[in-house]
Amino acid sequence: MVLHMLRSAAVAGLVLMAAGTARADAPRPHLASVGVEQLKRAYLECDRIASRTLMDAGLAAQCSMVGEELKHRVFAGDFDRLIAWWREHKGPYGDAMAGVETRDDDMARAP
């Protein structure tokens, strides 16, 4: 239980660490100065936590914002590209979406 709380706090810290130096034009200004690698690590940690336990509303919201920022900044807003990246990097714990199909999956099967 203590380990879970520490991990949750670490994710929250990553998400909120740049709150004071954000760009005004960013849709998630508190994440504007967080580096891409930090976003990726936070996203994968959020996924790992979510695959093992029920997140509280605050952490779930923070993780959702991390995912949106990562999707827009790294994958040009393309959810399918984000999921493809996630599938490659999720590790052995990330089976929560293993059976979820994306638009790319549907297009690959099209005649």
Q: Residue for token digits 């200004």?
A: 29
Per-residue tens of pLDDT for the chain, all 111 residues: 434 444 554 444 444 443 333 333 446 888 888 999 999 999 999 999 999 999 999 999 999 999 999 999 999 999 999 999 999 998 765 444 445 454 544 444 455
Q: Whose CA is closest to 31, among 46, 14, 44?
A: 14
| Residue tagged 């999921």 (tokens) | 83
Return the pLDDT at 103.
Answer: 52
Q: pLDDT (tens digit, 9 = 90+) per residue, 11-22?
A: 444 444 433 333
- Tokens 């920022």 belong to residue: 69
Instruction: Tell me the two tokens of residue 74.
Output: 């790294």
Q: Which residues contact 9 (CB under 8 A, 6 or more apart)?
A: none
CA dist., res. 80 & res. 13, Å (int): 27
pLDDT for 82 equals 97
